[in-house]
Amino acid sequence: MLAAVTSIPYPSWLNSGDNTWQLTAATFVGLMSLPGLAVLYGGLVQRKWVVNTMLMIFSGFSAVLVVWVLWGYNLGFGPPVHLFNAGGTGWFANMWGAFHPITSHFGEQNQAVSGANTLIPFHFPTATLAYFQFVFAAITPLLFCGSILGRMKFKAWLLFVPLWTTFVYTINAKLLWGGGFLAMHGAVDYSGGYVIHMSAGVSGFVAAAIVGPRLLRDRRHGVPNNLLLVAVGAGILWLGWNGFNGGDPYYAGVDAASAVLNTNVATAVGLLTWMMMDWWFTKQKKPTFLGAINGMICGLVGITPSAGWVDGYGAILVGLICSVVVWVAWNYLSKVRPFSKVDDALGVIYTHGIAGFLGGMLVGLLADPGMIQYGVTGKNFNAIAGLNGFAVGGWFYTGSMHQLWEQFLAAVWVICWSAAITALILMVVKFVCRGLREPDEVLEIGDVAIHDEEVYPQETFAERVSAMASTGSDE
């Protein structure tokens, strides 16, 4: 008899479970942008800015994708280019990747290999890894879009996003995720507390300062136009974060499950903490929905750098600490220079910038070496490369300040680089677009003046025709 032969429609190195989870996680993260942020930010702004806000989100997402497949992915995750002919493991030898696309059949369908490779090989193609990393790259400028809503020229935004992605995001990603200098020296960022959130908060704050404030009337009467839409967007953001943190081990394993659970625990604690502080410590003495959403975001952002490296107790502390500190900053630091002089429309510097910094630093304190990311010892698991797996140890468990110090150095780099290059890019964009902000007469009108559309159009002509038809039918 002939031996039965089973044909497998994919290469031997591909694990269908890991590949499926990675694509699913990427889709969850993509949904956080579209429609998540579009709905969340669209509900928070004044009615006259809803269309502009949604189009900034959708167009920014599209612009990053084009950049990503043509050069962005390899800049952040490709082989290093050794700037200034630097060799070895130095800073300039591992700061940026190669400038070339991934659009060929080889670039998309071969086994994923990048500077961010783990202790074991990737079990999916480059297309999967590139798309997963793309949705992270895309959401970053969309987050700090919330700092500059209601005044930036749309064409300036379309030029700014590709430049920022190329010169800010890819370098931070390479240094921390793509096998760069900071990663080599021990700094870690599980899912983007530094690379995404702190960078977004700092860049948004700098952009808001340079572009200038909204109209005085808009600042004084910046009431959300639809809290129900805010709830929908916030819910998509929360549950989409399961893919954000759950996808970053790159394997559908135990650490992915831990990261998802810890993400939700920290978020719940963050939401309840902010709500209670509003209830106890504000003049109104009332719990507020918008306050609860801020607390939710603080929990989500705070746990992002450590989701798979802290245990459940650590997740509770992350949610609590980040929410308390950001609540104090929101209510008191906002009254102190320079924060009081910069119109950060949706407070991105607080809920993303400060929360991201705190979350990254808390890794150096709360990371539990018992939370193994890749491989653990025991009869049911195999040790990898002679190691007992990969984990991170914080000061509370190891008594060593080394990890905290590496986290601090990485934070200083991300803050300084993001701020300086954002300012430089905005100068270039200002020159090319002949200004960064719309004229005041356009800002008075909003969506109709910029896009010739409005979110809730008045269909007076249609109503008149309908009324005439009804009158005619009665005769």
Average pLDDT over residues 371-386: 53
- Confidence class for position 385, pLDDT limits 50, 70, 90: very low
pTM as predicted = 0.92
Average pLDDT over residues 224-243: 97
113 burial type by CB count under 10 A (0-12 exposed, 13-18 middle, 19+ buried): middle
- 55-95 confidence digits (pLDDT tens): 999 999 999 999 999 999 999 998 888 776 666 666 777 78
Report angle CA 89, 93, 97 to the nearest 5 degrees: 125
Give the model's pLDDT for residue 297: 98
- 99 or 312, which is more confident? 312
- 95-148 confidence digits (pLDDT tens): 888 889 999 998 899 998 876 656 678 899 999 999 999 999 999 999 999 999
pLDDT at 245 over 50: yes
Nearest of 123, 109, 119, 131 to residue 17 by alpha carbon: 123
* Contact criterion met (CB below 8 Å) for 415 and 203: no
pLDDT at 4 over 60: no
405 burial type by CB count under 10 A (0-12 exposed, 13-18 middle, 19+ buried): middle
Give the model's pLDDT for residue 88: 63
- 331-369 confidence digits (pLDDT tens): 999 999 999 999 999 999 999 999 999 999 999 999 999
Give the model's pLDDT for residue 459: 67
The token pair that represents 414 in the structure block: 């991300």
Percentage of the chain modeled with pLDDT above 70? 89
Identify whether 224 is preceded by a cis peptide bond (ω within 30 of 0): no
- 445-470 confidence digits (pLDDT tens): 999 999 999 999 876 545 544 554 55
Average pLDDT over residues 294-309: 97
Report angle CA 211, 52, 451 to the nearest 5 degrees: 110
Alpha helices in 332-459 (DSSP H): 348, 355-366, 395-398, 402-433, 440-445, 447-451
Span of 272-276, 289-293, 391-395 with lowest mean pLDDT: 391-395
Average pLDDT, the chain: 90
Identify whether 141 is preceded by a cis peptide bond (ω within 30 of 0): no
DSSP state of 88: T
Average pLDDT over residues 235-259: 95
